[in-house]
Chain A
Amino acid sequence: MLQISCPFCGPRNEVEFVYGGPLKNRRPDDISQIDDTTWIDYLTVPKNPLGPVQERWWHVRGCGCWLTITRDTRSHDIIESEIES
């Protein structure tokens, strides 16, 4: 079970949170200038690292904030968590 550090509420149990998916790919800057491959990669290829992944969690049964955490997909260790601006 994850223990997610919320900046307002402190370390809280995972059951208080709702998973919001991995951080989306960054949209290419000028989409009129890029080729199809770059655009399709942006749309379809998610990051699937054997290691740290960035993802969003919503502290819905707590303060209601959205957090971005960096979590290791092998160990579930949370390396970093910060509040979304």
Chain B
Amino acid sequence: MQSYSIFSLARNALSGHQNWSKAWRSPPLKKRYDVIIIGAGGHGLATAYYLAKNHGITNVAVLEKGWLGGGNIARNTVTIRSNYMRDESIPFYVKSVKLYEGLTKELNYNLMYSKRSMIDVVQTYPKLREIKRRMFNGDLHGSAYERIEVDELRRRIPPLTGGGPESRLPILAGMVHPSAAVCRHDAVAWSYARAADDRGVEIHQNTEVLQLLRDSTDGSINGVETNRGTVYADKVAVVVSGHTTSITDTIGLKLPLKSFNLSAFVSEPVKPIIDVIVNCPDIGVYLNQSDKGELVIGGAPDAGQSFRRDIKQQVFEDAVCSMLELFPSFKRLKLMRQWGGTLDIAHDATPIVSQTDVQGLYVSAGWWGGFKAVPAGGYTLAHLIAKNEQHELTAPFSLNRFKRLDFILEAGTTTAT
């Protein structure tokens, strides 16, 4: 792998940037691999990387129906945080935040990682109580969450001029989660792809999985049917976010997931005005400012189940109206682009990293915005695939919790469903 540094940049500048080597190969598709990972998004590529790095399994194919990193890894609002509620969830996300911190160095790729705190603008007492509970539980697991008063909140977020005492929902307090960060989302996919490819993993784009294949004698998984022919493997991992059930339906495997559309949009670039991630849980909007100066804004999901990747007009209007209640000066901002993604979620809002009833088939799903979980999700799924036993961090995320009706009702997942 060509190392990226100031020297390689200077060397390539002298030769007119004509001699950069390709970040990953495009090898021919083989007939058989040890492991097939369906989905070259953040989680799939991270899984491939950690399989190769931590477990020495390199005969791996990552199959992607579109292009690398074109799904939800390209469609999120880049927030990395660990302010969850449950004892089962917090240690996992703490690990993920920690892995993200070291990722630029580990993968030799500039992720533009920027630790900048997330501040919740709290406007109702039930929300305040719920977040306070998350604060106390976070303390037990080393995930800091602190309350600040309204004056301090307005000092730290200067454009926050709405929500005064006369407004519909006066601001009560702010809650600061200092370890929250943002980083460049595309770079996460590209850096994992490059590092996995360097260790021998094959990435196949434009290779759509049409059908999972089971062994006719013992029912275990033995490969996948793709638009480029049949590929065999004894272990197959489904890491496709919203379309998980579309793939597992092909062998009649039922999973407790529903898919929804979540969308976001960005404004024109402006001078730096907000240096934290702002989350307004009571009115359902969250935003941060990118390095380019654009405000990246997200709202509530579309109500009904959906596999679409666009944004519905009234979802968009709701988010804008909510934002203007608290940030009236944003009224004159032009909005430049909008997009949506398909996410899936289990009804307890906790992810699924698990083996299934079909031997050799693994799923990583239900992340509902799994961007923050990419490193730890890949790390633990690789452990599960390699050793056939759960990593301790994701042991509670197994499908067995549904069989025991022992749900992990998580309030830290940003969702209104």
Contact = CB atoms under 8 A, between A and B. Distances in A.
Nearest to B346: A44
Q: What is the predominant secondary structure among interface residues of chain A facing chain B?
A: mixed
24 contacts: A1-B312, A15-B314, A19-B304, A22-B258, A22-B304, A36-B403, A40-B402, A43-B405, A44-B347, A46-B256, A46-B257, A46-B258, A50-B307, A53-B304, A55-B304, A55-B305, A73-B259, A73-B304, A73-B306, A73-B307, A73-B308, A74-B307, A75-B308, A76-B308
Contacts of A1: 312-314
Contacts of B257: 46, 48
B254 interface: yes
A45 B245 CA distance: 11
Contacts of B308: 73-76
Interface in A30-85: 36, 40-41, 43-46, 48, 50, 53, 55, 71, 73-76
B329 interface: no
Interface residues of A, number: 21
A76 B307 CA distance: 9
Interface string B300-323: 000111111000111000000000
Considering the complex of A and B, which 7 residue pairs feature the smallest CB-CB distances, nearest first? A19-B303, A44-B256, A48-B245, A45-B254, A44-B402, A50-B246, A1-B313
Contacts, number: 52
Interface string A1-16: 1000000000000110
B256 A45 contact: yes
B255 interface: yes
Contacts of A22: 258, 304-305
Contacts of B307: 50, 73-74
A75 B314 CA distance: 16
Contacts of B403: 36, 40
Given A22-B258, A40-B403, A40-B405, A48 B305 contact: yes
B312 to A, nearest CB: 6
Contacts of B245: 48
A19 B70 CA distance: 30
Nearest to B303: A19
Nearest to A13: B314
Nearest to B255: A45
A65 B2 CA distance: 64
